[in-house]
Amino acid sequence: MTTLNIKFRQQIKQTDIEAIEKIVRSSGFFSSAEIDIALELAEEKLVEGAASSYQFLFAEVENIVCGYSCFGLIPMTSVSYDLYWIAVNDKIRGQSIGKKLLSKSEEIIFSLGGKRIYVETSSRNQYRPTHNFYESCGYHKEAILKDFYSAGDSKIIYSKGL
């Protein structure tokens, strides 16, 4: 396997909206409503700039955005961050881009004073690779909210101390 030369950047650009849409659609995991939310967060960041509470990190290979994360300080907390989104284009999944993106996101959060990261995901079987990903990166299940999204679809909350 060839080692990819991944470059990271935090500054969002208008062209990232289309890249985010391609990435989240490629996974096959997200509903249209969820994709709309991913795009809304990016559009808010573009409009509000530094005033937005959302932070972005983009992973690029050969100047093409292939993955991204979105995170932010949880309102009314001083050191707790939510990881809202992390996704890698399905065509290049399995090459450690997600782990590198998560690690770099954690570094940024720590540099901003973050001490703990929380991640929410679905309990559906389709998300088993997601659970394995977080657990392999040192995240622990904090809570399971039964039937949160719908009957049989619970919310799993993971956390990691930094």
Domains of the chain (ranges; CATH) run: 6-161 (3.40.630.30)
pLDDT band at 44 (very low <50, low <70, confident <90, very high): very high
Q: Note the pLDDT of residue 2.
A: 55
Distance CA 66, CA 74 (A): 26
Q: Note the pLDDT of residue 76.
A: 96
Mark 84-108 as b/e (b = at least 16 C-beta within 10 Å).
bbbbbbeebbebebbebbbebbbeb
Mean pLDDT within 93-119 = 96
66-85 tens-digit pLDDT: 999 999 999 999 999 999 99
14-38 tens-digit pLDDT: 999 999 999 999 988 888 999 999 9
Q: Note the pLDDT of residue 1.
A: 44
Beta strand spans in the chain (E): 6-9, 55-61, 64-73, 80-88, 116-122, 140-150, 153-161
pLDDT band at 94 (very low <50, low <70, confident <90, very high): confident
110-159 tens-digit pLDDT: 999 999 999 999 999 999 999 999 999 999 999 999 999 999 999 999 99
